[in-house]
Amino acid sequence: MTYSITRRAVLGITAAATMVFAAGVAAAQEKIQLRMSTVATDSDQRTVALAEVFGPGVAAFANYEPHYNGVLFKQATELEAIARGNLEMAIISAQELASFFPEFSVFTAGYLHRDAAHQVAVFNNALMDPFKKKVEDELGVKLLTVMYLGRRQLDLRMSRAELDVKTPADLAGVKLRMPGTDAWQFLGSALGANPVPVAFGEIYTSLQTGAIDGQDNPLPTNKDSKFYEVTKQIVMTSHLVDLNYLALSLDAWNKMTPEQQAATQKAADDAAALGRERQLKLEDDLVQFFKEQGLEVYTPDVDAFRTQVQAAYLASPYAESWPEGIVEAINAAN
């Protein structure tokens, strides 16, 4: 009798242990799903850095699943997708945020950020806290880090003999592709052009057919998407030291332990830093590449562009939504 009881007890304990072990294995396998949507390609410096650094940095507790070229969600629809719970991550622009929160338009203003390092200083400054909080509270989106996209230049179909751009007046009537949000369209107008909203995936064909005369993007994006194949000149206006934010669903963030959150934040910052370093070097190298492809690359009267663009913003309704003293605080960040 004693043996029988002991044996049943042992069997019971073994079964219980097996169930606990199985439950533990199942829990370990239930990683947080992090689908990331972007219109960028898989060879973009930002997406490459995310694949090389961010993915491995969160692999112990999350599955990083990137989707490129706008195949999962179209440009400017990612924020709504995250807010609805249909997406976990995206690379988003300040222009897209400005369509929800007008005060974000200050970060879309031409000739405001000085360089890549200044972008990081601004993002990490206390001046950004109310901006970040509003995005979390109203959209359920956490801005993890700032990513350097590059200095945006003008890429035109016409040769310099046909159109020599020295000042904003020379862009009169030029059909310049800009993303579809109001903030982007305003920037195109401020530069002196006729902005046309065209989806990113349609830029190449639109340039090829003449539906648009040009587009604006950093040099690495120009090369990545092969826009140089259907254009003849690049005007180095550097009108926007462009940035993106790496956005994460607040729901996904809240599923993480404090240790996992710290690891996620570090992975995001490290990936952004690597992408920034590579992008800066690539920008410097690409001028010669485009010249070798037969494009004319030159610098216009940047002071004339800066004066017109800044005056346009300060006189616009956008400036009315900017918090008092924000421009001075951005200028002082270092």
DSSP string, 58-123: HTTTEEEEEE-TTSSS-TT-HHHHHHHTS-SEEEEEHHHHHTT-GGGGGGG-TT-S-SHHHHHHHH
- The encoded tokens of residue 50 equal 């995310």
- Distance CA(36)–CA(71), nearest Å, equals 11
Using alpha carbons, select from 192, 190, 193 the residue that is nearest to residue 310: 190
Mean per-residue pLDDT, 159-174: 98
Question: Stretch 44-59: mean pLDDT, rounded?
Answer: 97
| pLDDT value of residue 29 | 58
What pLDDT does 76 receive? 87
Look at residue 75 in the predicted model and tell me its pLDDT. 87
The pLDDT value recorded for residue 6 is 42
| Strand ranges in 127-273 using DSSP code E only, listed in sequence order | 141-156, 175-178, 194-197, 214-218, 233-249
Q: Which helix (H) or strand (E) holds 295?
A: none
Residue 10 has pLDDT above 50, yes or no: no
For residue 57, pLDDT over 90 is answered with yes
| pLDDT tens, residue by residue, 204-237 | 999 999 999 999 999 989 998 999 999 999 999 9
For residue 286, is pLDDT > 70? yes
Express each pLDDT in 113-142 by its tens digit. 989 999 999 999 999 999 999 999 999 999
Measured between alpha carbons, how far is 249 from 50 in angstroms, rounded to an integer? 17
List Cβ neighbours of 44 (8 Å cut-off, separation of 6 or more).
38, 68, 220, 221, 224
Give the pLDDT of residue 1.
Answer: 41
Measured between alpha carbons, how far is 93 from 82 in angstroms, rounded to an integer? 14
The string of pLDDT tens digits covering residues 291-324 is: 999 999 999 999 999 999 989 998 999 999 999 9
Pairwise CA distance, residues 184 & 189, whole Å: 9
Q: What was the pLDDT predicted at 187?
A: 94
Quote the pTM value. Answer: 0.78
- Mean pLDDT, the chain, integer: 91
Given a cut of 60, is residue 23 above it in pLDDT? no
